[in-house]
Amino acid sequence: MEGCMTALSVLLAVTVRWAVSLYPYSGARKPPIFGDYEAQRHWQEVTVNLPVKQWYFNSTDNDLLYWGLDYPPLTAYHSLLCGYIAHLISPDWVALNSSRGYESLYHKLFMRATVLVADLIVYIPAVLFYCSRLQEPSAKRKVLSLFCILLYPGLILIDYGHFQYNSVSLGFALWGIIALSHGREVLGSLAFCLALNYKQMELYHSLPFFCYLLGKCIKKGMAGWGLLLLLKIGVTVIGAFSLCWIPFLTDIEQILQVLRRLFPVGRGLFEDKVANIWCSLSLLLKIKNVLSPEAQLQLSFACTVLGVLPSCIKLTAQPTIRGFKLALVNCALSFFLFSFQVHEKSILLVSLPACLLLSEVPLMATWFLLTSTFSMLPLLHKDGLIMAYVITTLIFLLVSAAAMSFHEKTSEDSLGVKPFCASVRRYISWFRLHETSVKLLFFSSMLVMAALTAVICALAPPPALPDLFPVLISGVSCIHFLMFFFYFNIIHLWNNADGRNKKKVS
């Protein structure tokens, strides 16, 4: 029975994914630069037709201003594989220079299929394995957790609507989390290296992986088994990176050029309207006009370090799986809020560990996942994905409510803040976190998001303020993310490693 329910959940999740793929994609029929769909197609064109050593360099056949490759080597190899298959089917799809902006029904079918295949190979099996090992009272609860994670609308809308391959890097990262949960530190390190070599934004997760592994080595004893484990991990990391970077290691200029493409610090503190601190503060203080680019970089670095420090210290001292998952949320959210050159889609890096907390703190995890999807609304609106956004969000909300009953779990214990509230009551005896207040805050938040969704769909912004709606959505989302940042830090820092609320992958 459990197998049938699992198969049905995966089938329904795949159906939702393919239904979203029928909607428009980023830059559809919008020359001359098009969008992310064209970027992925163009990378296939470049990698298939040019030698490896020319992939990241500007040339007459590789104009870096036209969607130049700016992801790590593993993404390039994936593009090469997809491009090779595309060339076998129809050489016109990846013809050098002449295929720019190529759009056809069959090509769209091929491109959408590559996303689904990558999802079925990497991400979905990882979610299946993770949920099958959850310590839940029943098989039904495991399947419901699986269904909720697979229906998270943010990832579906970006990969299958907007068009990207986030499921690959997130899937590798999840395999790394699973491996560490089973005491397979070397395999976990290898999986995360693959994630990092697919997308450099996986650096958002790097500190929790590092601190957890360091904490495990320290606990085992740095003069004995801990040192041996550290050496194994070091060899694994060096070996994995060396294999991924082999074509570029023969020339120092090759390495430097790839790094310049991966980390374009010259772009400034932020570009588009994104729901982080710097973009939101710019409404009150034009940081870009006040601080030099170097000062902006230093400021964002300092704030990010301060944001990740509490969770990293706690995780190193107490390397538990529950603490690891909370640290992943806290560190990724700190990077999103405070770091340099953040894109709106980077919130997916926070959403992955948040999905893993659905069974532990269902209300806050669901609330965050809904907010993360809402924060990308201006991008989804530009891509013509509003209807897909509304439908997938409502499906996720209803399934989560039915499966997790998150709207009923608003007590201090259910929210995981009981130890914190008890600490506060030592100094403020009257302090209470009332369930009614939490519910009111949640439903008010949902109402604001629904209203802004209706406004951006139905109304045109004032001519003098063309970015009014994206700015409002970013500001509201940023306020939410700050609340979640403090909340998840609180439950991590006040978490008792032996507490009864701990649910982990066994």
Give the mean pLDDT of 299-322. Answer: 96
- Backbone dihedral angles phi then psi of residue 460, each to the nearest 5 degrees: -95, 140
> Which amino acid is located at 163 in the chain?
F
d(CA 336, CA 475): 14
Report pLDDT for 292: 85
CA dist 350 and 143 (Å) reads: 23
2-20 vs 105-118: helix crossing angle, rounded to 10: 140
Per the confidence metrics, is the pTM higher than 0.75? yes
For the record, the structure tokens of 9 come out as 């959940």
- Which residues, at least 6 apart from 158, have a Cβ–Cβ distance to it below 8 Å? 164, 166, 345, 348, 376
Question: What's the token pair of residue 97?
Answer: 């220079």
Indicate the residue type of 265.
V
pLDDT of residue 408: 84
Q: Which of 479, 502, 477, 480 is nearest to 491 (CA)?
A: 502
- Per DSSP, helices labelled H in 318-434 are 321-338, 348-355, 362-375, 377-382, 386-404, 418-425
The per-residue pLDDT for range 76-123, each reduced to its tens digit, is 999 999 999 999 999 999 999 999 999 999 999 999 999 999 999 999
What CA–CA distance (Å, rounded) separates 489 from 495? 10
- SS3 assignment, position 284: coil
**Rounded to an integer, what distance in angstroms lies between the CA atom of residue 368 and that of residue 390?**
16
pLDDT digits (tens, 9 = 90+) for 39-89: 999 999 999 999 999 999 999 999 999 999 999 999 999 999 999 999 999
Residue 270, pLDDT > 80, answer: no
Tally the C-alpha atoms within 13 A of residue 25's C-alpha that lie toward its C-beta.
26
Neighbour-count burial for 425-434, b at 16+ CB within 10 Å, e otherwise: eeeeeeeeee
Q: How many Å apart are CA 491 and CA 78, to the nearest integer?
A: 39
Q: Where are the beta strands (DSSP E) in 88-156?
A: none
d(CA 280, CA 203): 23
Give me the pLDDT at residue 500, please: 42
Instruction: Give the percent of the chain with pLDDT over 90.
Output: 81
pLDDT recorded at residue 282: 85
Inform me whether the pLDDT recorded for 137 exceeds 80: no
Stretch 468-482: mean pLDDT: 95
